Amino acid sequence: MATINSNFLKLKAGYLFPEIARRVKAYSEANPDKAGRIIRCGIGDVTEALPPAVVKAMHEGVDELANRSTFHGYGPEQGYEFLRQAIVDNQFANLGIEADEVFISDGSKCDTGNILDIFGKGNRTGITDPVYPVYVDTNVMAGNTGDANDNGAYEGLVYLECNAANGFVAAPPCDKLDLVYLCFPNNPTGAVATREQLEAWVKYAQENDTIILFDAAYEAFIQDSSIPRSIFEIEGARDVAIEFRSFSKNGGFTGVRCAYVVIPKTVTGKSESGERIPLHRLWSRRHSTKFNGASYPVQKAAAAVFSTEGKEQVAALIEHYMGNAKLLRETAQALGLQVFGGVNAPYVWVGCPAGLTSWDMFDKMLEEAQVVITPGSGFGAAGEGWFRISAFNSRANVEEVCSRLKALVS
């Protein structure tokens, strides 16, 4: 009989969002009269249609595939040059990033999980708490942790607590990490790191030989021009950081799937014999072995995000979602709740009313207001007592959520 990867048995519950979906389904089945009233502000899934420039480019891509003379089969595993160059020109101009340091993929969730393929065992890995659960669960699956304790914290990971006192931005620890995951704008708290805070992290990484895994999936939502959008805006980051970016939340590609990883050729890790090896080389090998490229129409569509019309249309989408975030934030604040995020990020992070745990608040919102939120404790022990409201919705739904929240809490 085949043996299994027993690390999977260490995983606590199901993955957070399917677990929420399961609970919402159970509620809907038990309360069919209320099911039609449910508004979903749980998972951060976009709701608005793809930008017209993206749709047009995707149609053109399909039309090319429909003709033998313009047909494309397998593309380059790393992604088409036209997309990688458009990314560099539009997202990393003057930051020293080259098109061959960009790897196109089908999503940041996969990329942030798959990246562990190129790292060895025994790394001391830091994650913030609360955190996007993928970073934790993929480390568990890879065998980089022991068991979870009663708080759900896994032995072997270093948890960097984020809380109201530090504005949900962790400072570098005193001791040495080999790898650290940073996500800004942050999922779930919506916090952003200032230039000084990111400089401190890059300095720490240089001094401790740490690799920063920087998840910038939400960079398009940054409104404050003083906040860096990329870790590569920080001097020295090219030697210590990998950045993950996505078309999911800016271009609305959650159902289309396209993302990318930027790995400068100057970032290195150590082999067992102590030799410094460029991570770019390893990821290139991994990517070309396990991945055959994102589909051609999707890459055409992604490149259209950077066209003149595409940029205007994406800006309008961001403005729409950030308008929602403002309404949610101001409503929660007016109710006297503690609120973070929602200013440079599409997530509003709210303190639960006194006496309620995160899951209590989830149940109350679902059962009494038919609004789905995400319980903060689902993102880690430090998220207990908080809940996340996603601003990805129609304006009418967000206005309705605001009025239901007022009726529930006041």
Q: How far apart are CA 269 and CA 301, in angstroms?
A: 34
Nearer to ligand MLT, 187 or 295 (CB): 187
In the complex, minimum distance from the CB of residue 150 to ligand MLT, in angstroms, rounded to a whole number: 24
Nearest distance in Å: CB 332, ligand MLT: 18
Judged by CB, which is closer to ligand MLT: 111, or 384?
111
Task: Record the tokens describing residue 52, joined without a space.
Answer: 């017209």
Minimum gap (Å) between residue 43 Cβ and ligand MLT? 4
Of 44 and 269, which CB lies nearer to ligand MLT in the complex structure? 44
What is the nearest approach in angstroms of ligand MLT to the Cβ of residue 255? Answer: 12
- If the CB atoms of residues 297 and 346 are measured against ligand MLT, the closer one turns out to be 346
For the bound state, the minimum distance from the C-beta of residue 222 to ligand MLT, rounded and expressed in Å, comes to 17
CB 154 within 8 A of CB 140: yes
Distance of closest approach, residue 107 Cβ to ligand MLT, in angstroms? 8
Whichever of 101 and 137 has its CB closer to ligand MLT, that residue is 137
Cβ pair 251, 54 in contact under 8 A: yes
**Helix, strand or coil, per DSSP, at residue 323:** helix
According to DSSP, the β-strands at 211-215 and 179-183 are parallel
Closest residue to bound ligand MLT by CB: 44
Shortest distance, CB of residue 187 to ligand MLT, whole angstroms?
5
CA distance 343 to 329: 8
Nearer to ligand MLT, 241 or 391 (CB): 391
CB closer to ligand MLT out of 130 and 293: 130
Q: How far apart are the first and last CA of the chain?
A: 59
Looking at the Cβ atoms of 80 and 349, the one nearer to ligand MLT is 349
Q: Parallel, antiparallel, or unpaired for β 371-372 and 179-183? A: unpaired
* Interface contacts to ligand MLT, rule CB under 6 A: 43-45, 109, 187
> Which CB sits closer to ligand MLT, 289 or 394?
394
Per the CB < 8 A criterion, the answer to whether 75 and 296 are in contact is: yes
Tokens read off for 396: 């009418």
Count CB-CB contacts under 10 A for residue 381.
Answer: 16
Torsion, CA 139, CA 140, CA 143, CA 147, rounded to 10? 140
Using CA atoms, how far apart are residues 281 and 302, in angstroms rounded to an integer? Answer: 25
Query: At its nearest, how many Å lie between ligand MLT and the CB of residue 132?
Result: 6
Within 13 A of 134's CA, how many CA atoms are on the CB side? 19
* Distance in angstroms (rounded) separating the CA atoms of residues 297 and 299: 5
- Tokens matching residue 159: 């948890």
Strand 102-105 relative to strand 125-129, pairing? unpaired
Residue identified by tokens 């390893």 is 282
* Alpha helix segments (H runs only) across 71-155: 81-91, 108-114, 133-141
Residue with tokens 């620890």, as numbered in its chain: 173
Of 249 and 280, which has the nearer Cβ to ligand MLT? 249
Please report how close the Cβ of residue 188 comes to ligand MLT at its closest, in angstroms: 6
* Residue number with CB closer to ligand MLT (16 or 262): 16
C-alpha–C-alpha distance, residues 90 and 94, integer Å: 10
Residue pair 135/168 in contact (Cβ under 8 Å)? The answer is no
Bridge-partner residues for 262, per DSSP?
102, 243
Smallest distance from the beta carbon of 17 to ligand MLT, in angstroms?
Answer: 6
Task: Kindly state the smallest distance separating residue 186's Cβ from ligand MLT, in Å.
Answer: 10
